[in-house]
Amino acid sequence: MKNSRRSFLKISGLSALSLSSLSIGNVLASSAGVTNTSPIGDASVKPEALQAKKWAMVVDVKKLAENKRYEACIEICHKIHNVPNMPNKRHEVKWIWEDEFKHVFPGQEHEHIPDEFKEIPFLVLCNHCENPSCVQACPTKATFKRDDGIVLMDFHRCIGCRFCMAACPYGSRSFNFFDPRPFIEEVNPEFPTRMKGVVEKCNFCAERLAKGQQPACVEVSEGALIFGDLGDHESEVSQILKKRFAIRRKPNLGSGPQIYYLV
């Protein structure tokens, strides 16, 4: 019996090994089986969905400021997406908002800028970057870039590490410091709310594009926001950018923002 402990360890090790290989075998067998006998049907993109190679938005700054059209854009976005109105500014959640030129384009302001641009409100939202640093930073792929260029959040997967917030050079992301539900005045049942502890931001109205609709802010902007496919040379956005000069936020960072501001 001198070796009993050793032989026990050997046997238990071997049995653990065979057990684990068994379970691996099971998984393999079942995954192989899924292709043959799965009762789950097929998923496809809806025929009415709007599709593009590279979604982008053009902001006609002057037109947007007329009659305070930007206010409607902000309001409709936050309303349909159940964005909470947090009482403490520190915990603010916002997808789209307005700010002055010197804050939206820091480093580009100078004292000789025409007054109309100094005072005019600029709409800011997620830039849906071509090379998004938030996606690079996310440790779980909870934020990811779709093949049509939209940078999205998977709220089910987000662990709330807020690395993406540190990575975003545009301050486009908000964190749910509390459960947002009590701070939503009127819940839109067509769109989920978020839970505490996850990051959120503008989704370019992915849920509306899937139904063949334009983003909500574009729809209420009376033509001041133009949304379209920059991968298509004939699209309205491509045509406008060919004719008129547009600037982007912090283009020197290489993130490739896809919101273009006409000035």
Window 128 to 157, contacts with other proteins (CB under 8 A): 133, 136-142, 144, 146, 148, 152, 154-157
Running DSSP on this structure, what letter comes out for residue 55? E
- In the window 10-39, what residues touch other proteins (CB under 8 A)? 39
In the bound state with other proteins, the residue whose beta carbon lies nearer, of 127 and 241, is: 127
The stretch among 15-23, 111-119, 187-195, 227-235 that binds other proteins (CB under 8 A) is 187-195
Confirm or reject binding of residue 168 to other proteins (CB under 8 A).
Answer: yes
Residue with smaller CB distance to other proteins, 113 or 137: 137
Q: Is 185 in the site for other proteins (CB under 8 A)?
A: no
Q: Strand, helix or coil at 83?
A: coil
Smallest gap from residue 242 Cβ to other proteins (A): 28
> DSSP string spanning 101-170?
HHHHSTT---TTS-HHHHHSPEEEE----SS-HHHHH-SSSSEEE-TTS-EEE-TTT-----HHHHH-TT
List, as one string, the DSSP characters of 215-258: -HHHHHTTTSEEEEETTSTTSHHHHHHHHS-EE-SSGGGS----
Binding other proteins (rule: CB under 8 A), the pick from 161, 240, 246, 263 is: 161
Does residue number 95 form part of the binding site for other proteins (CB under 8 A)?
Answer: no
Among 32, 45, 233, 242, binds other proteins (CB under 8 A): 45
- Of 18 and 26, nearer to other proteins (C-beta) is 26
Return the number of the residue (197 or 263) whose C-beta is nearest other proteins: 197
Q: Are 217 and 69 in contact (CB under 8 A)?
A: no
- The residues pairing with 57 across neighbouring beta strands, listed in sequence order, are 227, 259
d(CA 122, CA 119): 9
Structure tokens at 25: 């075998």
**Taking CB under 8 A as the criterion, which residues in 57-86 touch other proteins?**
none
